[in-house]
Amino acid sequence: MIPMLVWHEHENYEVHTLEALDRLIDPLDRDGRETTPFAVSLQVNPQSELCIMVGCEESHVEFYAADQSPLVVGCTDPWDDDLLIAHSYRGHYSEMPRRYCVPIADAREAMRLYFQTGKRPENQRWNEW
């Protein structure tokens, strides 16, 4: 499977290299900062997917794996407050408490690690809901 980056409802792009991943995320992050932050998902194999929020300093990160329990885990730390971070998830308005976000640099590193390994990134602390 060729890794696929997906954002909004019908926008996606094949990702062949780590450098291409960064080149794709950079303008998406700028677009989100100019409009509304939004979710970007990367799928490198049929069993898993990593989603981050671009467009602001705080980013929610979620990892899905069909062969793990729980199926979905989200990041947690370093903030301990419930300030709501508004964003769009594939065209739908959503809000996430900041306690379930990390700095955008950490989220982007998680995406790079997932791209390289296809596994849940170890640079995050995960909240297994």
At residue 69 the predicted structure's pLDDT band, cuts being 50, 70 and 90, is confident
Which tens digit of pLDDT belongs to each residue from 16-67? 999 999 999 999 999 999 999 999 999 999 999 999 999 999 999 999 999 9
Give 129's pLDDT tier (boundaries 50, 70, 90). low
Q: Decide if pLDDT at 6 tops 90.
A: yes
- How far apart are alpha carbons 48 and 122 in whole angstroms? 15
Torsion of CA 67, 68, 70, 76, to 10 degrees: -120
Query: What DSSP designation does 99 have?
Result: G
The pLDDT tens digits of the residues spanning 80-113 come to 899 999 999 888 899 999 999 999 999 999 999 9
Q: How many angstroms separate the CA atoms of 45 and 82, rounded? A: 33
Q: What is the pLDDT of residue 77?
A: 83
What pTM value is reported for the model?
A: 0.93
Beta strands in 1-129 (DSSP E): 4-7, 11-14, 38-45, 48-54, 58-59, 61-65, 72-76, 84-89, 92-97, 102-103, 125-127
Query: What's the sign of the alpha-carbon dihedral 98, 56, 117, 91?
Result: positive
Residue 127 pLDDT level (bands cut at 50, 70, 90): confident
